[in-house]
Structure 1
Amino acid sequence: MAAEAGRGGVGLWAGLLGPVEARRGGAVLPLGSAGRQAVFAVLALGAGQVVSRDRLVDGLWERPPASAARIIQTYVGDLRRVLEPDRARWTSGRLLRTTDAGYVLDLPDDGVDVRVLDRLRTRSDLDGVDAALALWRGEPLSGVSGPFAEGQRVRLAETRLSLVETRMRLLVDAGRAEDAAAELAVLTEEHPERDSLRALLMTALAAGGRPAQAIEVFHRGRAGPDLLALHERILTGTQPGRVDNGFVGRRAEVAALRAVAARPGGLVLVEGVAGAGKSALLRAALADTDVTWYQPGLPEPRSGLVVVDGPDPAVSGWGVSLVVAARPGHALRARATRVITLGPLGDSDVAALTTALGAPDLAAVAVRESGGSPGFATALVDAGGDTEQVARATTAALAPDLLEPLRRVALLGEYGPRAQVVAAHPGDQWLGAAVAAGVLCESGDHVGFAQPSLRRALLAGLPRAVRVVLHRELAKDLAAAGAPPDRVAHHLLDGAATIHGWASDWIAGNVDAMSPGLAVRLLRYAVGQDALPQPARTGLTAALVRLLLTGEPASAEQGANGK
């Protein structure tokens, strides 16, 4: 395995799927304190890319101390001495480099166990899933605290459990239902709240000729709609087999829609962002069922189950059973008796989709770039793997009133706190529209681009002069929203802003909270402006001189206010 080779090879290897480790030539390197381990983990997960100081600060502390930037610098210096002991003092590191925007840890893809995991997750075979599960050495990032470590532990725990579920499905599909049932019996005891595991155990037991035991599993706890439908199919012997029309994934949703077709009633809303595969799901699940497919312009149906692929305003007054596909936020949601929400596809399903489309060689790039969107993955196959072409076509099709706020968000980075994203453009209706369009996605209190290439496409079409103006406006909006000082400072510099009024006052009050190197750059820029009022120039110059002489932050607020 690549991970094993990296762990015992001559290069640096980073392990996060257990206690945080750095190894070279099989020897464990002494990373030191939990804080240093946390910095190393953030850098390793972003290996080969610039990790901003803001991201490191946000990853280590929920409420950063005033000295957070200096502590980060100290941790990075300590890590350099461990990772590159032969590096001459005062020389730039080759493995852990400093840039104007942050730090870069240069590691190959097989030098980080989580990167190896991401690659193995693109495989849809049992050997690939088993190899991915073998990477775990214990609780991810154990012993490390802070928002980054806690968030990664939750994410990776869910990843592992999803891989286990995939393994169980593969065992059942391979005719090894008894093996799956034995493992699932233990897993359902460990995770009694996870209905998907109970459903898999019921499926495995029924497939192994033990329907009575499957029914017993059903009665162990409360049952949601999907478990109820599975229970009914097992009782009646009508549980559907695999869909054999090329459709990939969404097994629970397929089963749910078939149960609706067998017993229609009310309004079932199939909800998903653009590209989530709503139409494909309807065709796969309901192709051979007794339903009426409504098209605009046809007479109003009077009976049976009616399927509407794309909401029609007229359906709200119909007195028939309905299955309607719509984007999030549609008014029909308030009337729905059941909502089936389509989230992103899992990595193994994206890989299986590209294989079904005849492009198994594009599985890895589709998993990495699609964000779990079957629509994006399909377009990527059609484009021969040209991610930028798909991204350009996607952004070109966006509503014009979405382009300006999305370009502002693109200047913020790939993801950020929701409050800062909202501050980037007036109002918040555009955010809901961008999420429904599948361009942005929300996770907790953060918002990011559903596919990284969409951000690149938005920025590529932005003239330099317009970008400078937007940076200036973002600096002011983010400062008003209380964004981290380093982030505001970068936008002031990138926007070549005139430093007077609010900007000089803000710099004076936030010098101490900036990274020292960035503070020096911004102060030099500010005091070099002819338009800067003399009282502000005096205070900012004093702060600059002190930083240059001592390297210690110094408040410029008193001088800037002329006191």
Structure 2
Amino acid sequence: MGAVPEPGAQSALTRALLTALLLEESRFVSHDKLIRAMWERPPASAVANMRTYVNRLRCWLALSGLGDRLQTRRRDGGGGGGYRLPVETARCDVLAFRLAAEEGGAALRANDVRSAANVLHQAMEIWPQSAQLSVTAPADSWLGIRLADLDEARLQAAENLRAARLMLGDAPLLMWELRGHVAAYPHRERAWGQLMQGLYLDRDPAAALDTFHSARHCFDRDLGVELSPNLHRLYRAILRHDEPAVITW
């Protein structure tokens, strides 16, 4: 992640350990919690194995001059044994991404559209570096949940950036991206709504209305649910040719 060296591709458990420590943002993480992050079914030797991975991680961190950052709390030190990895935000792209995404989202909500677009663009420039870590964890583990939350933050930041760009008049430049987002995430209403916005603002209202019906069919077929009132409001705005309402949806 950023300036923190990435463990080798064969060391999935060491990558999971590194990710768990970074996502806890300088807090001590107990042995038990780390074990639950690293193994779906921990082996009997999990504690000893984890210490091996901790030593490997220290070696990788030393390559970037961070070998002394991985701190140990002994079991008799109060609160049980564990580890923490304090790293400045600038040296951890996941933390830097999260801060930029939150700042950009706040700017968008405040209607500071150009600032939002600039900051969110920076956030998405940071993200691919962290994504290269390719960490996997049991979906129902605390690390799996944190990784899912992080991926949701990525999707929201990308959608916020598209929202800002649509407001700035970039609809013709976004059509390929908007279509690809719907194809990749067909159960995200905002993806369908932004495609409808883009088509309307690209002067194809008929296609925008057809997209609404495609979304409705998809949600009914796959999920057995109706589209939200929010997407219906966008549909009615397109029917009325209410461009300001479409832009600010």
Report TM bin, short chain: 0.7 to 0.9
Match of 2:122 among 124, 131, 147: 131
SS of structure 2 residue aligned to 1:221: helix
In structure 2, the partner of 1:78 is 56
Gaps of 5+ in 2: 108-115, 217-225
Normalization by structure 1: what TM-score? 0.35
Aligned pairs for 1:379-394 within 5 A: none
**Structure with the greater alpha carbon radius of gyration:** 1
Q: What amino acid sits opposite 2:45 in the alignment? A: S
Contact 1:45–1:112 (CA<8 Å) still a contact in 2? no
Q: Give the distance between the partners of 2:34 and 2:167, measured in 1 at CA.
A: 44
CA distances 1:431-450 after superposition (whole Å, capped 9, x unpaired): xxxxxxxxxxxxxxxxxxxx
Q: What amino acid sits opposite 2:91 in the alignment? A: G
Sort the Cα spacing of 1:241 and 1:230 in 2 relative to 1 into closer, same or farther, 3 A.
closer
In structure 2, the partner of 1:102 is 82
Match of 2:187 among 190, 193, 214: 193
In structure 2, the partner of 1:224 is 227
Aligned pairs for 1:143-292 within 5 A: 144-146=136-138, 147=141, 150-222=144-216, 224-225=227-228, 226-238=230-242, 241=245
SS of structure 2 residue aligned to 1:142: coil
Q: What amino acid sits opposite 1:158 in the alignment? A: E
Q: Give the distance between the partners of 1:161 and 1:60, measured in 2 at CA.
A: 25
Sort the Cα spacing of 1:187 and 1:78 in 2 relative to 1 into closer, same or farther, 3 A.
closer
Q: 4+ residue runs of structure 1 moved beyond 6 angstroms? A: none
Q: What amino acid sits opposite 1:116 in the alignment? A: A
Sort the Cα spacing of 1:108 and 1:137 in 2 relative to 1 into closer, same or farther, 3 A.
closer
CA distances 1:379-419 after superposition (whole Å, capped 9, x unpaired): xxxxxxxxxxxxxxxxxxxxxxxxxxxxxxxxxxxxxxxxx
Q: Give the distance between the partners of 2:119 and 2:163, measured in 1 at CA.
A: 14
Aligned pairs for 1:160-559 within 5 A: 160-222=154-216, 224-225=227-228, 226-238=230-242, 241=245
RMSD: 3.0
Q: Give the distance between the partners of 2:176 and 2:83, measured in 1 at CA.
A: 47
Q: Give the distance between the partners of 1:238 and 1:108, measured in 2 at CA.
A: 47
In structure 1, the partner of 2:96 is 116
Pair 1:39-2:31 in alignment: no
Give the structure with the higher percent helix. 2
Q: Give the distance between the partners of 2:8 and 2:206, measured in 1 at CA.
A: 55
In structure 1, the partner of 2:134 is 142
Number of aligned pairs? 217
CA distances 1:105-135 after superposition (whole Å, capped 9, x unpaired): 2322111110110121113321211121122
Q: What amino acid sits opposite 1:54 in the alignment? A: D
CA distances 1:220-245 after superposition (whole Å, capped 9, x unpaired): 132513323322221133466389xx
SS of structure 2 residue aligned to 1:103: strand
Sort the Cα spacing of 1:98 and 1:166 in 2 relative to 1 into closer, same or farther, 3 A.
same
In structure 1, the partner of 2:220 is none
Q: Give the distance between the partners of 1:205 and 1:166, measured in 2 at CA.
A: 17
Q: What amino acid sits opposite 1:174 in the alignment? A: L
In structure 1, the partner of 2:32 is 54
Contact 1:38–1:60 (CA<8 Å) still a contact in 2? yes
SS of structure 2 residue aligned to 1:157: helix
Contact 1:60–1:148 (CA<8 Å) still a contact in 2? no
Contact 1:140–1:156 (CA<8 Å) still a contact in 2? no
Contact 2:238–2:246 (CA<8 Å) still a contact in 1? no
Contact 1:199–1:230 (CA<8 Å) still a contact in 2? yes
CA distances 1:274-312 after superposition (whole Å, capped 9, x unpaired): xxxxxxxxxxxxxxxxxxxxxxxxxxxxxxxxxxxxxxx
Q: What amino acid sits opposite 1:133 in the alignment? A: M
In structure 2, the partner of 1:497 is none
State the structure with bigger RCO (CA 8 A, min sep 6), 1 or 2: 2
Contact 2:71–2:85 (CA<8 Å) still a contact in 1? yes
Q: Give the distance between the partners of 2:94 and 2:130, measured in 1 at CA.
A: 13
Sort the Cα spacing of 1:32 and 1:81 in 2 relative to 1 into closer, same or farther, 3 A.
farther
Give the structure with the higher percent strand. 1
Shift of 1:169: 0.8
Shift of 1:68: 2.4
Q: Give the distance between the partners of 1:104 and 1:143, measured in 2 at CA.
A: 18
Q: What amino acid sits opposite 2:54 in the alignment? A: V
- Paired-residue identity, %: 27
Q: Give the distance between the partners of 1:185 and 1:214, measured in 2 at CA.
A: 12
Shift of 1:31: 8.2
In structure 1, the partner of 2:223 is none
SS of structure 1 residue aligned to 2:72: strand
Normalization by structure 2: what TM-score? 0.74
Shift of 1:34: 1.4
Shift of 1:47: 4.1
Q: Give the distance between the partners of 2:145 and 2:153, measured in 1 at CA.
A: 12
SS of structure 2 residue aligned to 1:219: helix
Contact 2:16–2:135 (CA<8 Å) still a contact in 1? no
